[in-house]
Structure formats: C-alpha cells, structure tokens
Chains A and B, each alone.
Chain A
Amino acid sequence: MNRIFASRLFWPVVMLLALFIVNLIAFPGFFSIELKNEHLFGSLIDIVRNGAPTLIIAIGMTLVIATRGIDLSVGAICAIAGAVACSIILGSPDPGSVGTVVVAIVVAMVISLVLGVWNGFLVAVLGIQPIIATLILMTAGRGVAMLITEGQILTVNSPPFKVLGSGFLFGLPVATVIAVAIFVLAALLTRRTALGLLIESVGINPEASRQAGVRSRGLLFAVYTFCAFCAAVAGLILTSNQTAADANNTGLFIELDAILAVVIGGTSLMGGRYSLLGTLVGALVIQTLVTTVYTVGIPPIATMVFKAAVVTVVCLLQSPTTNAAFARWRTSLSSRTRKGVAA
C-alpha cells in the first residue's frame, strides 16, 4: 500500500482517473469507441490524437529537463518546421505527390535538427543557462518562420501531407501511432543503452559525473537535438491537421503544456531522475482536461481558469510539503489503528 502511495505515478494517475470519471458523468458515452470505415472513433481516440503533439514534445522535454535544462524554443521550432514543409509543398509543381511531401518533411526535419544543435551549442559549449539560451530561439524562431512564409498563412492542399495530422493507420490516428513510436524509441534509446543513466547522472551532479569521466557536452547536444526533433514532428502534425502553416500560432504555448506534462509526470525541474511513463500520463492529463472543458460545458472564457485550478491541485499534491504531511497523516492513522488493536 505504501509503495503505491510513494510511487511518483500515484497522483498523476489518480488525477487522470478523476478526470475520466467527471467526463463519464457528464457524458455517459465517454468510453465508447466505435469502428467506422475501419477507423476508430470516440472521445478517448480524440484525446490520444489531439494530445499527440504535446506528448511528443514532452518526451523530448523530459530528457532536457533531466539534464537540469529546459527548452523554451519547441513552439517556435514547430512553427518553423510547418512553415518549411508548407512552403516546399506550395512551391513544387505537384503538391499532391508523395515524393514532394517526403522531401518537404525531410528538409523540415533537417532544419529543425540544426536548430537543436544550435541550442545544444549555446548550452553545452558556451555554457549559457538553458532558459536563456532557448529563449533566444523561442523569440527569434517565430520571426524566422514568418520570413519563410513571407508573413502569409500558407494553406496547402496535399492529401499525402494531410495524412500526418488526420490520417489513420491500423485503425488508429497516424499522429497517435507516431507519438507511440517516438515514446518507444525514446524509452529504448535511453533505458536499453547507458544514455538514461548518464543523463540522470549529469542532471543530479555534473561535477561528480565529470570526475567519473562522463562527457556531458555530447549528452547535452544529444538531448537538445532530440528535443528539436520531437518539436519538428509535432509541428508537422499540427500543421498537417490545420492544413496550413501559421508562423504566429502553430505550436503557440505548446512548450508550456509540454513542461507541465513533464512536471505532472513527476520529473523534477531540478533535473536528475526522470520518468517517461510519468510524462505520458502527464500529457494525457492535460489533453483530457481540454476535452473535459467541452464535455462538461465550461464556458470558453472560464477555460483557462479551470485548467489553472486543476494544474494547481496536481502540483500541490506533488509538493514535498504535502507529501510529508500525507506521510505523517498515514503514520498517525496506522499507529492509531495499532493502538486500537492493542486496546
């Protein structure tokens, strides 16, 4: 029992279940999933599809945060990736061909990776604080996206590109499949190799790690580049879903949702031990929250306040002070029961 309480996943999972129950009360068909045209439909499917971009970015963010860093530039990278892809598709003579879309995606990804390397360079080589280093690209990046789109909203009509955001694969939304693939990739890459251990070690104690011969520079490059990779994938999904690249709004504030997902999942912003599974739950909590707003019928003007309230509760539940209070409460409870038995 105590182990379940002590698990970092306890409160996020409780929160997720609570949100599910609220939804179920407001909308009895919440859990129902239908098969139409070999595609799955239902509220839960909506959650895993619409939550995919946030989850993908949160995965990259988890690793960055584990090294004591943070990446604020992911939203801007979303916008750049979308802008690059859309401008290539629009500029090609055959926007509907698979070849064009593949080229567009590859170029967008490569440019995003370069941006990730740039972040890594600022943090690992120049030693700039991550929040400042990535703030540069956060603000400048949207300007770059704006230059690429020449200030326009680039609307594309390319069926192969649309698949990314709204297509289905094996009955599941493509976005969800991609998110799951990246989740598995990240989990295997860090837990089946030594990367996870070394990332945590650098995040907990950089100097001790240095003295043990850990090369933190390469690790930082790797995590920031991977985070940019995740951001680009998410940006392409978002753009595809909207069938338009909007330099100002694609991925706006998604960095905050991603950081929130990581924190709700129990990974400390102080760096060190991280939990990808926790991040997954965190991202689901955030997306379910958005869905709840609609099913419960909260007026749009109150949406942000509602979201803030839920997030505040989750953070309070996870704070060390609250946990200590809970622990005291449990011990006093159990000792009282024991005394009761003795009497």
Chain B
Amino acid sequence: MSEPVPVVEMTNISISFPGVKALDQVSFRMFPGEVHSLMGENGAGKSTLIKALTGVYSVDSGIMTLSGSRVAFTGPAQAQEFGISTVYQEVNLLTNLSVGENIMLGREPRRFGLIDWRATRIRAAELLTRLHLDIDPNSLLGSHSLAIQQLVAIARAIDVQAKVLILDEPTSSLDADEVAELFRVIRSLKDEGVAILFVSHFLDQVYEIADRLTVLRNGSLVGEYLTDEILRIDLVQKMIGKELTLLDDLEKKTHDSTSGDDGETPFLQAIGLGKKGAIEPIDLKVYEGEVVGMAGLLGSGRTELARIISGIDRPDSGSLSINGKPGRLRTPRAALSRGVAYSSENRKAEGVVEELTVRDNIALALQADRGWFRRIPKRRQDELTASYIQALGIRPPNPDALVKNLSGGNQQKVLLARWLAIAPRLLILDEPTRGIDVGAKAEIQKLVVNLAENGMSVIFISAELEEVLRLSHRIVIMRDRTMVADIQNDDISVESLLAIIADGSILEDAS
C-alpha cells in the first residue's frame, strides 16, 4: 500500500492543563479518502486531541501540518477555514428551523445584503443530494428523527469544502438501520476523498467502517494500526493496558470466600431488569459481603445497570428485590434508605458538591437522610470528618477546605466518605479509581477489601481489568448493553477477560 501525503499530520503534540498532562508527545495522521478511528477509554486524551485538531485548544508543543504546510490554530474558525469540520455527539442544530436553514445557517448566500432564500434552498438541496439523502429542505428539522438530524449536521459540515470530517460518537443514539444509513453516507464521502475521523466506543462499528486506528491511553500514544491487521483482543488490550504491578501485595484472600450456591438469600436480586435504549434485561445477584466486579468497555452498559439498581434511572422492565423483599427503587433516596448507595463515575457533575467544604460534602447524604431539622450536631460532624480524613488519608486534612480545591483523588475519597458515613449495605462504586494517582488507588482498593470483610456488598465497576480481577469474588461482564458473562473469579486471566469483552465468548479456561 503506497501511502500518499497525509492531509493531517500531528507530530509530538503535548497539551497540559493545571495538574494534568492531557496529551503527552502524541503523533497522529489522517489520509484523504480514509476512515480513521481514534480509540481509547475515558481520559485517554481522545477529546483533547480532537479539540487540538479543531483549534479549540492550542498545543503546548509539537508540530501540526495540513496537506504538508505547517499550521498553528488560534481558534476553531481558523480550523474550519482549513477545511476541518466537526459533528459533535449532541447534535447542535436548531430544531425549530428548517433543514435547509440549518444546513446554511450563517453562510446563507446574499443578494443586496439580504439573504437570498431561493439560492439558500437550492444550495441545501444540492448538499443533501450529494449525500443521497431524500429530505425536503423546507421541512422542520425537529420533525425528523435524531438520525436524520445527525445526517443533516454532516451535510452542514461538508458544505465548508471539508477536507477532514470529524464525527464524535455519531452513532451513540442511533439504531442499527440508522447506523447503516450513516455508514453509507460516510463511505460516499470517503470515495470523494474526504478524510474522516470516526470516534465510537462500539467495536463492531469501528471494525466495520474504519481503515486505520490510533489508540491512546492516559494521554499517550499506544500506536497506529490498520484495522485489518489488528485482532480485536489485541486492540482492547492496548486500550485498557496493563497496570503497574505495584498493587499486587493486596491479599488474595478476597477470592477465598465462597458465596452463592448454598441457598443463602442474596442481598440484591434483579430479574429481567432492563431499560429500553440503555440496557437489555439482565439477571443479577449480589450476596452479603461479596465484591462483584463489573467489567466491559465504555458504553457497554455497566454504568447504565448501576444507575438502575441504585434508583437514579427507572427501569421499564423486570423486578428488583433487596434482602428478599421485592420493591421498586424509584429515586436515589429510596435506594439509600434501603441501604444501596451509588458513587457516580462522573465525580464533578454527579458526585461532589464542589463549592461546599469537605465537612459538608461528607455529611450531605447522612444529613439528607436525617431530614431538615435534625441537624447533625457540630461536634458529631467534626468527629465524622476527622475520622474519615484520617482513615482515607484526605489531603489537605482540612475539614473547611472547599472540595473544588482538592485533587481528583482526594475528591474521590471525600465522595467515598460520604457514602461510608451512611453505612450502606451495598455500595456501588463506578470507576472509583479513574484519574487518580497510584497511591490513592491502592488505598481505595484496600478499603473495598476491608468493607467486604465487614459484610458490606460492593459492586466494583472499572475499566482496569487487573483491578477488577484483584478485588472481585465474582465478575460480571457487560458488552453492547447486555450481560455476556457472570463468572466466579477463580484464577481468571486478564487474557480470558479480554476475550469475553472483545468477542462476547467465554474461552475454555474461564468457564
């Protein structure tokens, strides 16, 4: 395969934010007429790279060339001038305008200073025809499905003589037929020589459409591969990576305790629990004192399941019983009162209350449970805060510090302290160790082991398989919004887990 001149070439790009190196010496290139997929878990640096490419972020160091000439963007408008267009995950169009108006918005042809509506409609119709889309440009955008709106967004994007089209998670809200339609459009653009960057967490789709893959992990480049030449299992392994083995001294005793088959009532039992568009119906049991690991790629349904169990989202099928008693958990409050606490993966948006102090954050769930007027006495609050600051090693050890001024790992510990303060029976930890340093990670893992020894059930969700394997008694594997395996953790290897995540099949040694 002879390689033509890349339309985009980024060499040794680095971008830092206060306290974080978001991209570290990453190189990336795109060729005309090729679909390139950017792969990586959350926090890998995908969106930072896209934002560098679209001029939203300026790079700290590194070289960017477009069609061979060196550029340095100072803003998104400049990137657009160079023919780089982006369609974001959330369609940001105006549903109350017509399809044609949306496509041409801000670029309407003018006559005598006024908008030439006739020319606008004709131009919009041309663009739709170019994508072989049979949509009336005069129809209201809001009257079409999300998939059509997505395609209209693409029509809008290619109008600016796009040489590079970036599609960020374009399929996350589309069904199979709609995805097929989108892919048809992508292929026709590709034939016209447009370079397409396709970001998706659906592996099947990536393998169907992408010619070339670039894998990022923790802000660093793992490698660039041709899709035909890399096996899925290798790809997943490269995305997830192998962690430092600094934590291996955690005792293996977690695996010894048996649970399940002896007729004991599970603390939590879900039967056929599902929610349309989020997760297929699933059966799940969690026993007292058991750590259930939940593995799977981003978007596999692991968070969706946790949110349904903990009353944050409402299921539309199936039933749930806690301690043998059936009951619906319609709100997080209801779940908390029955001893089920969920610690969100989205720490800033759904976890800590950043403008409040460490003390207030730790007390929040307990106080909410006690009601408005039975305030936790000041002295009790201080004791509680002091004990968790010490037990979890929260730094700085200042109860009056605002949580927004703490590092990610310490914010996570504050959040954990909040849930521990209400002494839940089942604690669901969604990515509790993401984006935090190795030391804090080890402390949180140790804590999970201790909690389970003291009879608390834990559902531990993590993208890091070593971590899941180390802590869990049992492992539930999610893939494409359904559960593909529920296995005891007896010396399962990372490789066999990877195989299940990648292909949905259980290898011999895992069964």
Binding site for B on A (CB under 8 A): 192-195, 197-198, 200-201, 204-205, 207-215, 218-219, 222, 272-273
User: Which of A201, A215, A222 sits near B353, CB closer than 8 Å?
Assistant: A201
Alpha-carbon distance A169/B363, docked complex (angstroms): 42
Cβ contacts under 8 Å, B352 to chain A = 205, 208
Contact across chains for B371 and A204 when beta carbons are under 8 A apart: no
Which residue of A193, A205, A207, A209 is within 8 Å of B372 (Cβ)?
Answer: A193
Q: Report 30 cross-chain contacts, Cβ distance below 8 Å, ordered by A residue.
A: A194-B367, A194-B370, A194-B371, A194-B374, A197-B356, A200-B356, A201-B353, A201-B356, A201-B360, A201-B364, A204-B356, A207-B349, A207-B350, A208-B349, A208-B351, A209-B364, A209-B368, A210-B312, A210-B331, A210-B332, A211-B312, A212-B332, A212-B368, A213-B333, A215-B368, A218-B372, A219-B372, A222-B372, A273-B355, A273-B356
Contact of A194 (CB < 8 Å), options: B342, B349, B351, B375: B375
- Chain B residue at minimum C-beta to C-beta distance from A190: B372
Chain B 342-379 near chain A by CB (<8 Å), digits 1 or 0: 10100001111111100010011101111111111000
- Chain A, residue nearest B369 (CB): A213
Question: Which residue from B349, B351, B363, B369 sits with its C-beta under 8 Å from A197?
Answer: B363
* Number of chain B interface residues as a range: 20 to 34
Q: Quick check: A193 and B373 within 8 Å, CB to CB?
A: yes
Pairwise interchain contact A192-B375, C-beta atoms closer than 8 A: yes
Which of A201, A211, A272 has the most chain B CB atoms closer than 10 A to its own CB? A211
Contact A197 B367 (CB under 8 A): yes
> Measured between C-beta atoms, what is the minimum distance from B335 to chain A in Å?
8
Cα(A307)–Cα(B352), bound, Å: 40
Contact A204 B355 (CB under 8 A): yes
Most buried by B among A197, A207, A215, A272: A197
Contacts of B376 in A (CB 8 A): 194
User: Judging by beta carbons under 8 Å apart, are A193 and B375 in contact?
Assistant: yes
Cα A103 to Cα B342 in complex, Å, equals 51
Chain B residues with CB under 8 Å of A193's CB are: 372-373, 375
| B355 surroundings in chain A (CB, below 8 A) | 200, 204, 272-273
Interface pair B374/A209, CB less than 8 Å apart: no
A318 to B466, CA, bound (A): 50
Which of B344, B364, B369 has the most A CB atoms < 10 Å from its CB?
Answer: B364
CB distance from A11 to the nearest CB of B (A): 20
Q: List chain B residues, Cβ under 8 A from A195.
A: 372-373
| Chain A residues near B349 (CB-CB < 8 A) | 205, 207-208
Residues of B within 8 A of A211 (CB): 312, 332, 342, 344, 350-351
A202 to B320 Cα, complex, angstroms: 29
Do the beta carbons of A215 and B333 come within 8 Å of each other?
yes
Instruction: Judge if B217 is at the interface, Cβ distance under 8 Å.
Output: no
Report the separation of the CA atoms of residues A207 and B313 in the bound assembly, to the nearest whole angstrom: 12
Are B332 and A197 within 8 A (Cβ)?
no
Known contacts A197-B364, A215-B333, A219-B372; 15 additional CB pairs below 8 A are: A192-B375, A193-B373, A194-B370, A195-B372, A204-B353, A205-B350, A205-B354, A208-B350, A208-B352, A209-B353, A210-B332, A211-B344, A212-B336, A213-B332, A213-B333
